[in-house]
Structure 1
Amino acid sequence: VLCDGDETLLRLVSTELVVGEALGTVPDGTPTVPLEADLRAQIKTLRLKQQALERTVDLDLRTDGGLARSRLLHRLRLLGIGWGRLTDSQVRNTGTFRETWTLRWRPELAIAIVEASRWGTTLQSAAEAKILDIAQDPDATVGKVASALEEALLAELGGATDRLIRRLESVAALDHDVTHLMSALPGLLRIARYGDVRGTDSAALTRVADSLLLRSCAGLPGAVTGLDADAAAALRAHIDAVHLALSARDDEWATGTWLHTLETLADRDDVNGAIVGRAVRLLCDAERIGGEESGRRLSAALSVGRTAPDKAAWIDGFLGGRGLLLVHDRNLLSLIDNWLRGLDEDQFLPTLPLLRRTFGAFESGERQAIGQAVRHGAPTVSTTGGAGYDTTRGALAMAAAAEILGVAR
């Protein structure tokens, strides 16, 4: 009756009128658990306010105040006290010296503080005890321990870092699953980059990361055999993550070792096309193979002897959500266009979903540029003498291709 059935207005009335947003306070001398007393002292020192209204703060980790606030919020998050959550910054930057947090204090967090007090009497000791308990789980994987180590470094838990590194080394030595090793590697390389900002010692992290890289490169050629589409997609995501992390690290030995492994994958014909296509694309981006060689490999992948879904998987791995390659390299676009035009109905129908997913991942501008290139006849279409064409079926195929590429008709 009051809100005409509008639940949004009803929630607004309930939040502001029935519940309210004002927070009360208790005297400083009120008995409380030691963990809450430590939290109050740090909040007062850092000049933070416990407010019910949501607000966003940008922290500069190059300053003592910003680093201390970040340390406090990371420790609270580790203990399950969700006062703040990391969010995307409105300031455009790619460095590691800035963090953006959204803060909102809720009354029920007082209960979370009492629950977290079983781990210790101060935020640092409690966070260290909890992170070590997580890492000591007998079923902990390499990725789980690496994530715990990353959280410990972000929260500057110096008392737990060395033990976590030793735990990571022991778990990694017993784990023979390549996907587990590769999932942990990007995180280790990422947290090693925090050394300059947070003053952490990255030598031990680099040693563990190099060990994981060597074992990943040794096991990857055997792990890519006999994969179905879903397993190949999952492994491709791990390959992308490792490649991106190594590119950011910019270490000649590590990059060379990784690219050599990708070269062995690109030369095999018994591996899922999505993996081979991705290996060729990454090698092309790293300038280990040229544009002419990548075109030759694409032409070979689209040759007779492979099924249409296999060819589509190769293209999906090669393009991988980035259509600028087809915008600038008309030879590759011509190869794909000629292959697509040559598919009969029995081949086109099972290939269409994968191609649609491939081109759908492109930016709108990329799809339009590719569609215009095809429409204006930039790619040349090879024809054979005496071949007959069904214009009606051709029009249907062109309409489907235009819809895939996002071309306005």
Structure 2
Amino acid sequence: MSRFAGRVFWFVLLLLSVLSVPQLVTAAPLNVVYIIVDDLGAHDLACFGNTLHQTPHIDRLAGQSMKFTQAYAASPVCSPTRASLMTGKNPARLKMTVWHEQAKSTRKTKRPLIEGKSLPNLTHDETTIAERLHQAGYRTLHVGKWHLGEAGFYPESHGFEVNIGGTLWGAPQTFFYPFSGTKHYGNEFRYVPGVLERSDQDDYLTDRLTDEAIRLLKSSADGTRPFYLNMAFHTVHTPIEGKPDVVKAYEKKIQPDSPWQNAEYAAMVASLDENVGRILKTLEELKLADNTAVILMSDNGGFINKYEGKTVTNNHPLRSGKGSLYEGGIRIPLLVRWPGVTKAGSVSAEPVVTSDLYPTLIDLLELKADQEQRDGVSLKPLLTGSTQKLKRDRLHFHYPHYYPTTTPASAMRAGNWKLIHYYEDDRNEL
């Protein structure tokens, strides 16, 4: 073989080897946007099968993402799931198994069991994903619901440089200006800090939180530092309050045989979709879309109880809802758009859980793993398409508390089976 022919041979061999291996676009540093929706059910979005709610912007995101059809919240209620998202740990390991207000409650009941004890605050011993990213040079931004502790445990104490709206409360008193008062939660005065200053009397909270997120995105667009935005919408949690004109439009669309019958709730989902669209459009206008991972999820299953006499949502065809360890209480929508990694329009039916996102970010952003015990596993093999299965054979859930949909229980999913143990009557369900 001549010297020239030999060079050609090795060049072709190298080219073929490069083309045969999936390539990750590592245009580091990569920005990260979490979009966390409160109480959004597994089938509340059109791209997940809803026939009433129109969600064109999120549907478009789904078409650009990997869609997870068997994604789980780590808990059937909000705070424990959010703690798992921040730490990569199971709520039971964190000893944080119920929301803040309930964990601090001293109210006596006549229920057969005393509920399990739960920490009211995410302790400072935990290293959050915000702290890890901040240490890596990221600008860390929180907008919206926090619900992981009282003052002293707010986002600023857990790695976030900016906190707009994050407090101890799990829901606003109202979604309408001035987003405060005592309307829905007894005599407790609640407010949303950081949004009123730039608000007008006609403003809606979901819009205003998005305004603040867009302002932060624009101030982070110069490329001097990558950013991590934790966009935590209060919607679609109670109070169930949609914009009146959108509510009227949905009242005309509801069919008698539809599983979804709440126009107020549908209007809230519509406002969510509109504002997710605004965030995505801003990323595109700032030329950040190709260098920003977007991950959309809920914190638990849909709320199926009544609010002001109307059933809020229906997790059809899943059983039950928020608070329950049946599928309707813990199954959630999950979309991951990771430029250069995820294939547009891809779907994964592998069971995954919110605690998986912490190690996934550490893995894909090529940060050094720490020595803490994490219960989540990296989803990188699924996202890159290198496998359809994770090296994990079961998921665990622990909710030793009462809720309108359940008594204290724990559950384990293994394969296509789930075992639920109820502590009150020592009963098992398979």
> Shared topology, TM-score over 0.5?
no
Bin the TM-score by the shorter chain.
under 0.3
Larger Rg: 1
Name the structure with the higher strand share: 2
> What's the TM-score, normalizing by structure 2?
0.23
Name the structure with the higher helix share: 1
Ranked by relative contact order (alpha carbons within 8 Å, sequence separation 6 or more), the top structure is 2
> What's the TM-score, normalizing by structure 1?
0.24
